[in-house]
Every structure is written in C-alpha cells, then in structure tokens.
C-alpha cells in the first residue's frame, strides 16, 4: 500500500477509537442524573480539532484529494462531497464545544440537544471514514499514476513540515493515549460486565457434551464439551484446522456427529434436522458469508425472515438492521454480490438476525477484512451483547474475541483445552504465547 494511504488509514483507526469513546459518553448523557465528564469531552474535542486543523485533513486535501479530483470526473464529484464534509466539521465541533460549556453551567438544561447533535456528528464522522476507505482509496488506486503517488507519499513522509509534521503528530498521539486511558469502560472492546457472571440470570441455552465428529477416518472433534448461557457472548478460539467450523456445523445440524449430545433450550437436538434447529432459533452465519449475490441487499434481509409472517415487525427489524449497519441502508437497492467483503459480512449477519434467532453462531466474521472493518464488525458484536442477544463467536482473532467475550474456550485438534471468562484467558500465559503472540 502507498505510505500515505497507510498513514491515513492509521489515523482513521485512531479516530474510530475516539468515536467509540464518544459514543460511550453519549450513552451516559442519556442519564439525566449524570453530569457529563467535561474534561474528557474537552480532550476529545481538542483531538478532533487537531485532526482537522493540523494532522489529517490539510495534507489529505492538498495532496490526495487534489490529485484524485484532477484525474477523473468521477473523482472530482466524489472529492467535492468529501470537501464539503471536511468544511462542515470545524463549525460542528465549535458548536459542540459551546453546547458543552452551556450544559455544564445550566445542567441538565440542553442535555438532550447536546446528545442528539453529538450522535449525528459521530455518525457523520464514521460514514466519512468508511467512505474514504471503501470508495476514495479504491478510486485513487485506480486513477493515480506512479508520479502522483511519489508526490503524495513524499508529502506524507515529510515530518519536518511545521504545520503537520512530527511535532504536531506527537502531540496528537499523546492526546489519544490520554483519551483512551480515561475513557469509561467499555471502550470498544470493554470487559464483560459483572452482572453477566450471575449464573441465575443466565440459564444454559446450549450445551454440547462430549461431542465427536468424523470426516471419514479423520476425527475432527474428539469429545468437545461447551456451554452457552442465555444473553452471553461466548467465544471459541483456536488455530486453523482445530475444528471450530466443524463444531458450529454440528450445532446447526449440517455435520454428522459420531458421539456425544447437543442440548438446546432444554431439548435434546443431537439428531434433529437442520430445519428443526432453525425453527428452534439456532442460526449460523457461515464462514465466507454466502449472501445471495443477484438479489438486492433488502431482499436478502427479507429472505432472512422467511420463517416469520409478522409483516410489520419484519419492516421494523429491517430498519433496526439499517441502524446497526448504516452502510446497508446506503446500499439497500444494490445487488448483494456487488458489495465489498466487509459489507457482505455485515449483510450476512443482518440477514441471520432477521430470523430473530435465540442463538447466533458466527464463524470468523473478521476473516479477510481490513483492520477498520474488523473494528466495525466487533463493535456490532458488542452492541448485540448489550442488547442481550446470545452469541457463540468462533474466531482466530483471539485478542479481539477474548476481550469482548463473557466466557471463552480454546480448541486444539478437536478438543477444548482451556476455558474461562474472556478477561482471564486474555491474560493466561498459555494463551498469550500460543494465540496472542505475546
């Protein structure tokens, strides 16, 4: 990748992290008793201002935007839109700052307005970042010449530049560190909340006992035992070929088992047909997405609700999916096959949720995605957990999965070898050396 795009992408990731902190603060603002953390807000607004004035935007405008706009008409139109969004930002940030000052003086007066404006700003920020990466970057790669890239990369690498050089970058980085350290939990990948540890509140929904399964003579599962409690996010991590997908397929009923038992919501489903399990509320998002390519995004969502007949509620759920995955709303008429990999992953998850499953099985949702999209997918999973959905998440990305899981298992060659709360496995020495590269 070009060095400039790499730098921009890193800055995006940091900004995304900041937007997650903002979102957390925004939620706290919903509580009429709680005064906002003014100091943290100030730091965040300073960060954004710095980003706009000195770090990110000026260079992006002067080099990348200019070059893309010069090359094609399509590029010129796209850049005009991005420039408009950049131009709005300083004023919105200044307004938020004023509103915050007023709110601190006259609390709780102005709380609702502040929260609403903040929410739409977060949305704007994220949409802008997503579009730069999913639309601007690909176009730039297509239309810019080697000479263009040389000029752009050289400009971005110039750290002596006083207006956006190394000095302002260092300031900017230290701001980010402070924000993330002072942020209320959970920040993006927060740790499991205490209340979720109360077993009474979370009866066992799925239990897999001593399960084995074969492909011919290969024994892919050798006595796996796991439990998923209602309302919990349970993760299964393990290397390539450990048997993760096989286990999920056995739970969905598309993989034959040769021993052991599977129990769901109090019923023995070890030998139930896959359709029966879907009707009971088990839904798997398969590895590699598998959306219906020729159908539109919205038709794919409707298909997800095929077991349901409640038309109005289906429409409401579609709206909910658009709130959870704004990019799908933008593309609702587009053929699913034309979406990017990350977007298809989101569609596959949304389609599964349309069936209102009692248990959602996710098979490596982050596989093959760019870092920013991985973050976005994990944010959605965190939100599902907050909504009280029950999720069984299979991941090779152990760091991310363990840091959001209420409970987790480690699988090696068809056997679970470790289990415990996600936060405990995250600091387990064995896990650290085998899966986290620490």
Judge whether 242 and 414 are in contact, CB under 8 Å: yes
Residue 241 CB, nearest approach to ligand ATP (Å): 4
Residue 236 CB, nearest approach to ligand ATP (Å): 9
Q: Which does 185 bind (CB under 5 to 8 A by kind): ligand ATP, Mg ion, none?
A: none
Residue 58 CB, nearest approach to ligand ATP (Å): 43
| CB of 167 or CB of 287, closer to ligand ATP | 287
The residues that touch Mg ion, with contacts defined as CB under 5 A, are 244-245
d(C-alpha 237, C-alpha 426), whole Å: 11
Evaluate the CA torsion angle 124, 128, 134, 136 in order and state its sign: positive
Site string for ligand ATP, 179-198 (x = CB under 6 A): --------------------
Q: Which does 190 bind (CB under 5 to 8 A by kind): ligand ATP, Mg ion, none?
A: none
Closest among 247, 219, 277 to 364, alpha carbons compared = 247
Q: Which does 396 bind (CB under 5 to 8 A by kind): Mg ion, ligand ATP, none?
A: ligand ATP
Residue 414 CB, nearest approach to ligand ATP (Å): 7
DSSP 315-382: HHHHHHHHHH-HHHHHTTTSBGGGS-HHHHHHHHHHHHHHT--SEEEEE-TTTT--HHHHHHHHHHHH
Which residues in 377-400 are b (16+ Cβ under 10 Å) and which e? bbbbbbebbeeebbbbbbbbbbbb
| CB of 215 or CB of 306, closer to ligand ATP | 215
Q: Which does 306 bind (CB under 5 to 8 A by kind): Mg ion, ligand ATP, none?
A: none
> Would residue 216 be called left, alpha or beta, if left means φ above 0 and alpha means ψ between -120 and 50 degrees?
left
d(C-alpha 360, C-alpha 346), whole Å: 14
| CB of 168 or CB of 396, closer to ligand ATP | 396
Site string for ligand ATP, 225-254 (x = CB under 6 A): -------------x-xxxxxxx--------
| CB of 165 or CB of 286, closer to ligand ATP | 286
| CB of 57 or CB of 397, closer to ligand ATP | 397
- Parallel/antiparallel/unpaired status of strands 233-237 and 407-412: parallel
Burial of 320 (0-12, 13-18, 19+ CB in 10 A): middle
- Region binding ligand ATP by CB under 6 A among candidate stretches 137-145, 213-221, 257-265, 380-388: 213-221
Peptide bond connecting 240 to the previous residue in cis, omega within 30 degrees of 0: no
Total count of residues recorded for the chain: 438
Residue 188 CB, nearest approach to ligand ATP (Å): 24
Q: Which does 218 bind (CB under 5 to 8 A by kind): ligand ATP, Mg ion, none?
A: ligand ATP
| CB of 160 or CB of 218, closer to ligand ATP | 218
| CB of 102 or CB of 225, closer to ligand ATP | 225
Per DSSP, what are the bridge partners of residue 246?
none
d(C-alpha 402, C-alpha 409), whole Å: 9
Residues in 403-432 at the binding interface with ligand ATP, rule: CB under 6 A: none
Binding residues (CB under 6 A) for ligand ATP: these are: 215, 218, 220, 238, 240-246, 287, 396
């Amino acid at each position: 990748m070009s060095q400039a795009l790499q730098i921009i992408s890193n800055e995006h990731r940091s900004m995304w992290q900041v937007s997650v902190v903002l979102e957390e603060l925004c939620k706290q603002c919903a509580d009429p008793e709680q005064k906002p953390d003014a100091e943290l807000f100030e730091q965040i607004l300073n960060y954004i201002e710095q980003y706009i004035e000195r770090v990110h935007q000026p260079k992006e405008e002067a080099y990348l935007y200019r070059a893309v706009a010069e090359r094609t008409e399509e590029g010129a139109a796209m850049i005009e839109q991005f420039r408009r969004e950049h131009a709005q930002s300083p004023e919105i940030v200044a307004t938020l700052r004023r509103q915050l000052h007023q709110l601190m003086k006259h609390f709780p007066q102005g709380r609702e307005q502040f929260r609403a404006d903040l929410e739409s700003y977060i949305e704007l920020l994220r949409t802008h970042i997503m579009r730069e990466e999913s639309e601007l970057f690909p176009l730039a790669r297509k239309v810019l010449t080697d000479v263009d890239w040389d000029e752009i990369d050289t400009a971005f690498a110039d750290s002596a530049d006083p207006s956006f050089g190394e000095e302002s970058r260092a300031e900017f980085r230290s701001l980010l560190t402070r924000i993330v350290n002072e942020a209320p939990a959970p920040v993006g990948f927060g740790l499991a909340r205490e209340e979720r540890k109360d077993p009474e509140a979370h009866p066992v929904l799925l239990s897999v006992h001593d399960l084995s399964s074969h492909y011919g003579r290969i024994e892919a599962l050798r006595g796996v035992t796991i439990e998923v409690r209602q309302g919990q996010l349970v993760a299964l991590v393990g290397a390539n070929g450990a048997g993760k997908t096989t286990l999920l397929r056995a739970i969905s009923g598309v993989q034959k088992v040769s021993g052991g038992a599977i129990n769901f919501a109090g019923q023995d489903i070890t030998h139930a047909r896959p359709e029966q399990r879907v009707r009971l509320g088990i839904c798997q998002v398969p590895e590699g997405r598998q959306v219906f390519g020729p159908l539109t995004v919205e038709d794919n969502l409707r298909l997800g609700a095929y077991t349901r007949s409640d038309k109005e509620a289906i429409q409401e759920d579609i709206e909910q999916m658009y709130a959870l995955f704004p990019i799908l709303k933008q593309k609702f008429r587009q053929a699913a096959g034309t979406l990017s990999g990350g977007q298809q992953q989101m569609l596959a998850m949304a389609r599964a949720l349309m069936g209102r499953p009692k248990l959602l099985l996710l098979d490596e949702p982050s596989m093959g995605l760019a870092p920013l999209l991985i973050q976005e997918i994990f944010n959605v999973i965190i939100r599902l957990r907050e909504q009280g959905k029950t999720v069984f998440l299979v991941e090779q990305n152990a760091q991310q999965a363990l840091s959001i899981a209420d409970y987790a298992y480690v699988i090696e060659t068809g056997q679970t070898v470790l289990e415990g709360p996600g936060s405990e496995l995250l600091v387990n020495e064995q896990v650290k050396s085998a899966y986290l590269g620490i």
